[in-house]
């Protein structure tokens, strides 16, 4: 049995769909971290069967909107003094700015670089988003 010790102060990102932990690890640029980080792949889960977990032994700012966009089933545990101080339930954000890029070559955002890339939630179940400017529909989440 592989053992990863608990952390004193930091964040545990739990219930990541098995296989997607590495993507999230890369999104959060944790390969450059100067503190302890554990990426656990294929951990046993009662709910999911298998899941990935990321344990970060440091306080870092995480954009919950961004994580909710990727996968609202992820849970975040904020740890202090070795105990869970707060459990954060993610939501699918209704509006995201500069997280997804519009890929429509006819969209104004493709030529005017100062424009924010703004997307609005269209369908929570399908997790589809609409570009504020050209109305193009995209599905930016990690597929479950």
Partner 1 sequence: MLKGRCLIDPADFTREEFRELFDLAHQIVANPEKYSKSCEGKILATLFYEPSTRTRFSFEAAMLRLGGKVIGFSEPNSSSVAKGESVADTIRTIECYADIAVMRHPKEGAPRVASQYLTTMPLINAGDGGHQHPTQTLTDILTIERLKGSVENKTYGFCGDLKFGRTVHSLIKFLSNYEGVKFILISPEELRVPEYIREEVIRKKGIPFEEVQQIEPYMNQLDFLYMTRVQRERFFNEEDYIRLKDRFILDMEKMKYAREDTYILHPLPRVNEISIEVDKDPRAQYFAQAKNGMYVRMALILKLLGIY
Q: Which residues of this protein are in contact with partner 1, per CB under 8 A? A: 104-112, 114-115, 122, 130-137
Closest approach of partner 1 to the CB of residue 91, in Å: 21
CA distance linking residue 22 with residue 19, whole number of Å: 7
Closest approach of partner 1 to the CB of residue 86, in Å: 36
Nearer to partner 1, 137 or 142 (CB): 137
41-61 as b/e, with b when 16 or more CB fall inside 10 Å? Answer: eebeeeeeeebbbbbbbeeee
Residues forming beta bridges with residue 120, ordered by sequence position: 95, 130
* Cβ pair 102, 133 in contact under 8 A: yes
Closest approach of partner 1 to the CB of residue 106, in Å: 5
Nearer to partner 1, 2 or 111 (CB): 111
Nearer to partner 1, 50 or 120 (CB): 120
């Amino acid at each position: 049995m592989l053992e990863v010790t608990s952390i004193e102060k930091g964040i545990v990102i739990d219930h990541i769909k098995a296989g997607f932990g590495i993507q999230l690890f890369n999104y959060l640029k944790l390969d450059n971290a100067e503190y302890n980080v554990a990426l656990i792949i294929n951990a046993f889960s009662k709910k999911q069967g298998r899941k990935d977990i990321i344990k970060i032994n440091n306080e870092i700012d995480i954009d919950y909107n961004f994580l909710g966009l990727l996968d609202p089933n992820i849970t975040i545990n904020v740890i202090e003094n070795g105990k869970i101080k707060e459990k954060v339930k993610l939501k699918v954000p209704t509006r995201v700015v500069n997280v997804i890029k519009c890929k429509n070559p006819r969209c104004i955002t493709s030529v005017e670089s100062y424009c924010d890339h703004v997307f609005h939630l269209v369908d929570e179940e399908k997790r589809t988003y609409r570009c504020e400017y050209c109305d193009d529909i995209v599905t930016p989440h990690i597929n479950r």
